[in-house]
Structure 1
Amino acid sequence: MSEIELHRKLLGDTGRNRAFHAALKSVIAPGRTTVADLGAGTGFLSFLARQLGARECWLVEYSEALDLARQLAKANGITGLHFIEGHSGEIDNPPKADVVVSETLGNYALEEGLLETLIDARRYLRPGGTVLPQGLQQFVAPVTDPGLQREIDIWGDVGFDLDLSRAREISLNNLYVRSIRPDQLGATGRCWETLDFRPTAAAPASRRTATVQIDGLVGTVHGLALWWVCTLVPGTAISTAPDAPPTHWEQIYLPLLQALPLSPGDHLEVTLTSDTRPDVGLRVQWQVRHWRGDQRLSSQQLDSFKGRL
């Protein structure tokens, strides 16, 4: 995807834009508040901040979008902006601001370094300052509709007497961006992790593991759906849940190697591991154990690193 296409999708997301506008409005004291915009892109959030009365803004961006931000600022007569070229985590002696904002959310919420950016954002904050977003919850639910899996798991239908099982294994150890409907789920979502980005909270680690139990299921589970709810400030949030208003983000589908037919009383134990350490990049692991009472019937574990080719 080209850089401008990415920003077209971002700026075309009315719900996202309104949520960030409302959040910035709630924390900006006109004429007094200063703002640091990390991963500023085209400068949109800094432009909003200045319109809302921020005294000055620092735009930190490593890509060529920073030059476009300069052009857009000039075209719109927006002053009080300082442009810093580079990745926010690599800036020595960063400016200190009252509010630090970063919109580096991905379809898988943390794939663009949101967690690491917001923890490092504390270097940019004045004492008592505010970080946006302030929190994130990630959810998981079983997918019982076979359509998503059928679309991906084509390997057995290729034919010509070819054994493509190795290709299938690599393919299924991947995250897939898909639009998932509520009626494709076999249960309501379970929150598998809550992250607090506020500077007064302990900094969450880049590698985390959580286990949730999903019961009350009848049917066949083919994979897992992931989505998130991001709290910008209390009362203002963005959600990518299947039943939420659509955004430019979609949900994540995690396939299984084998479908799991469930009987009444069965339950699943789902363990998810997220690793976004800079030397790792993005690694997601998912393990699903199928239980009937105290008896474990099966277990399968997948790993996005095994999906590399």
Structure 2
Amino acid sequence: MPLGDNLGDKIDSRYCGVETEFNDDMPHVLSHNLNGGFDFVVAPLMEPRYRPSLINSATRDSSVLPFAASDLVLSPSQWSGHVVGKISSWIDLDSEDDVLREDSEITLKQELAWASHLSLQACLLPTPKGKSCGNYARCVNQILQNLNNMQLWLRIPLDKSDDDDAAAGSSDGMLVDPTDSWELWNSFHVLCERHSQLSIAVDVLSSLPSVNSLARWFGEPVKAAFVHTDSFLTNARGYPCLSRHHQKLLSLFFYYSIQIVLSGNAMHQHSGGTTPSGDKLTDNHAQHAQKHGLRAYLEYVSYLYQKMEPLSEQEQFEIGYRDFLQSPLQPLMDNLEAQTYETFEKDSVKYIQYQRAVSKALVDRISDENASTQTVVLMVVGAGRGPLVRASLQAAEETGRKLKVYAVEKNPNAVVTLHSLVKLEGWENIVTIISGDMRSWDAPEKADILVSELLGSFGDNELSPECLDGAQRFLKPDGISIPSSYTSFIQPVTTSKLYNDVKLHNDLLHFETAYVVKLHRLAKLSPTQSVFNFTHPNYSPNKSNQRYKKLRFEIPKETGSTIVHGFAGYFDAILYKEVHLGIEPTTATPNMFSWFPIFFPLRSPVYVKAGSPLDFHIWRCCGNTKVWYEWCVTSPTTSPVHNSNGRSYWVGL
């Protein structure tokens, strides 16, 4: 029974599971827990007392393994849809005891083979024991090479010591810092070549690490969170509840589609009279509460889920784009399609900001006394299907200024729509449509105001500098450019999802491409820093649109060690004076969806030790026919320079 429907989308975290003990009556285990309100069980597959070495060697090959049940006792859909296999917790593949190590390796392979036979969607691997996980990871990696679509969840306690003197860990994947469970996961992950079918199931304990330390996990492939009953407090009515820190953490799990699994025995005495929110229980709820010992805990998790704010209209629009890699648009080289225009035109916030900017520019350009006698010449360069023309004319009406508009557009298909719009609105005497490239058009007169929307996710990545440099020749010396300036920003991120998606292509080209993506499952490791700035008009005699920036990012020591998979890029633009729009996280224009961030991947993820700096270099390079970016890391390790000479990714002039 899903936790609720309040979020507006069908995320996986709507489904809550429960960890069970070994039981050879799987139909009873499943029916008892599903009837109790849970959606799936995490159940042991093998009798816990089984050891291969205890079986007589002469009969070992013919023995029947003590699995929980035959594959026939449940239907294939029940096994696949409601059971997560739990690998025996006693196994220790890095034990110094040779017999235990060999038993562990044999059992791991047997249980995962059985889970694969049952077509389970996931199996829970026990937490590595001790400081070394090399042999455990080697065996898991061998299995991953030939595994079907099943996910392996490595169980990791959500733990990090705040002791500044703790060992810092090792990036070689063998010895790990015992005070930081992220180090344990990272070592195992590296040894398994960061395989996309290896994920994490975190154990949520009664004490939690710092907020900074927790944040880095959301860029990792966390699939489930085991919340232990001893992590719960008791409210005034005797019901289980969680601390504010735990509540906030569960809200993040819900947001990032991480499934909750309740674990442990009931620790609270409670009546069947009320729910955790204080409402009366229905007879049906009370009946389930009596049947299942963890029902009160499930009710509380459901209560937290339903307390979450519903997704906004913008978030609902963006759901389908979350963590989906898209190649940036090339509107100068390619003609956009009608569907692309339509999507951008729906962003009313953007055009409201443009209208505000034009209104202020008109008022500054023409005084109230001259408003009825003087006409402002305004040119929209890259007019598309006309939304900026409309915004400019609305600004003129709002301010009582007279306007003459030139709409310049190179896409002949969009020009058809422009002509239709002008005729429909009766703008024939106000708007002149120019079908051609702004860089080669000879304007019949100079403009007072030049308006464009050539900005990309990184500000300059759709060649706004080159286009506006070419167009400013028909702007009056004291003319106004809207936008007047824009700045790009960048920050390091952990995003295992995007890294694996790029890695799937198995080539250099995709690791040297910058992508537009609605970032979702990621950890932002350091505040953004500004990169490139462009101002318009630019009358400098030695102007160049080539740029280079070196940035040093300081990752807080309390965060702990991290992995950098790449860099997220944003922009902020000043349209006119105080009117701005942008997507830089700290100043982002609310409810605007025209731009998603840009993502610059790294060919090899960079391990950054706790408290160490990260040095990043980025270049904007210009040639005769293209513009491209190159980027690299030089500290704490050195990466290759990505996209040298624009060999993989460029924007065509």
Separation in 1 of the partners of 2:489 and 2:408? 31
Q: Of residues 526, 531, 541 in structure 2, which corresponds to 1:192?
A: 531
Counterpart code for 1:56: K
Structure 1 residues 75 and 93: alpha-carbon distance in aligned structure 2, compared to 1, 3 A threshold: closer
Separation in 1 of the partners of 2:553 and 2:487? 17
Establish whether residue 306 from structure 1 lines up as the match of residue 306 from structure 2. no
Offset, 1:140? 0.8
Offset, 1:93? 4.7
Deviations 1:205-245 (A, max 9, x none): 22211111111254111111111001101211111224633
Separation in 1 of the partners of 2:453 and 2:518? 21
Structure having the higher helix fraction is 2
Counterpart code for 1:105: L
Higher relative contact order (CA closer than 8 Å, sequence separation 6+): 1
Structure 1 residues 276 and 230: alpha-carbon distance in aligned structure 2, compared to 1, 3 A threshold: farther
Q: Of residues 205, 208, 220 in structure 1, which corresponds to 2:547?
A: 208
The answer to which of 224-233 and 297-306 deviates more is: 297-306
Offset, 1:13? 0.9
Q: Secondary structure at the match of 1:89?
A: coil
RMSD over equivalenced CA pairs, Å: 2.4
Separation in 1 of the partners of 2:540 and 2:577? 15
Q: Secondary structure at the match of 2:641?
A: strand
Q: Partner residue of 1:61?
A: 409
Establish whether residue 286 from structure 1 lines up as the match of residue 286 from structure 2. no
Q: Partner residue of 1:11?
A: 345
Q: Partner residue of 1:114?
A: 464
Q: Secondary structure at the match of 1:42?
A: coil
Q: Secondary structure at the match of 1:40?
A: coil
Establish whether residue 236 from structure 1 lines up as the match of residue 579 from structure 2. yes
Consecutive unaligned residues of structure 1, counting only runs of 5 or more, are 156-166, 292-296
Offset, 1:50? 2.5
Question: 8 Å contact 2:643–2:649 — kept in the other structure?
Answer: no
Structure 1 segment 142-181 matched on structure 2, within 5 A: 142-154=492-504, 167-181=506-520
Separation in 2 of the partners of 1:242 and 1:149? 22
Deviations 1:31-82 (A, max 9, x none): 5321011111112222322231342011111112122111101101223111
Offset, 1:193? 1.8
Counterpart code for 2:621: D
Separation in 2 of the partners of 1:128 and 1:250? 34
TM-score (norm 1): 0.86
Counterpart code for 2:648: G
Offset, 1:204? 4.5
What is the total number of aligned residue pairs between the two structures? 292
Q: Of residues 72, 75, 91 in structure 1, which corresponds to 2:421?
A: 72
Question: 8 Å contact 1:35–1:46 — kept in the other structure?
Answer: no
Q: Secondary structure at the match of 1:17?
A: helix
Q: Of residues 223, 229, 232 in structure 1, which corresponds to 2:566?
A: 223
Separation in 2 of the partners of 1:205 and 1:270? 22
Question: 8 Å contact 2:509–2:649 — kept in the other structure?
Answer: yes
Consecutive unaligned residues of structure 2, counting only runs of 5 or more, are 1-334
Offset, 1:120? 2.3
Report runs of 4+ in structure 1 exceeding 3 Å deviation: 198-204
The answer to which of 11-20 and 120-129 deviates more is: 120-129
Counterpart code for 1:290: S
Question: 8 Å contact 2:484–2:576 — kept in the other structure?
Answer: yes
Structure 1 residues 204 and 229: alpha-carbon distance in aligned structure 2, compared to 1, 3 A threshold: farther
Structure 1 residues 276 and 60: alpha-carbon distance in aligned structure 2, compared to 1, 3 A threshold: farther
Separation in 1 of the partners of 2:474 and 2:402? 16
Question: 8 Å contact 2:490–2:529 — kept in the other structure?
Answer: yes
Counterpart code for 1:87: D
Question: 8 Å contact 1:131–1:198 — kept in the other structure?
Answer: yes
Separation in 1 of the partners of 2:448 and 2:627? 31
Counterpart code for 1:287: C
Counterpart code for 1:259: P
Structure having the higher strand fraction is 1
Separation in 1 of the partners of 2:378 and 2:402? 7
Offset, 1:308? 5.5
Q: Secondary structure at the match of 1:27?
A: helix
Q: Partner residue of 1:46?
A: 389
The answer to which of 131-140 and 92-101 deviates more is: 92-101
Q: Partner residue of 1:132?
A: 482
Offset, 1:94? 4.8
Counterpart code for 2:566: G
Question: 8 Å contact 1:50–1:56 — kept in the other structure?
Answer: no
Question: 8 Å contact 1:182–1:242 — kept in the other structure?
Answer: no
> Higher Cα Rg: structure 1 or 2?
2
Structure 1 segment 257-276 matched on structure 2, within 5 A: 257-276=603-622
Q: Partner residue of 1:164?
A: none
Q: Secondary structure at the match of 1:111?
A: coil
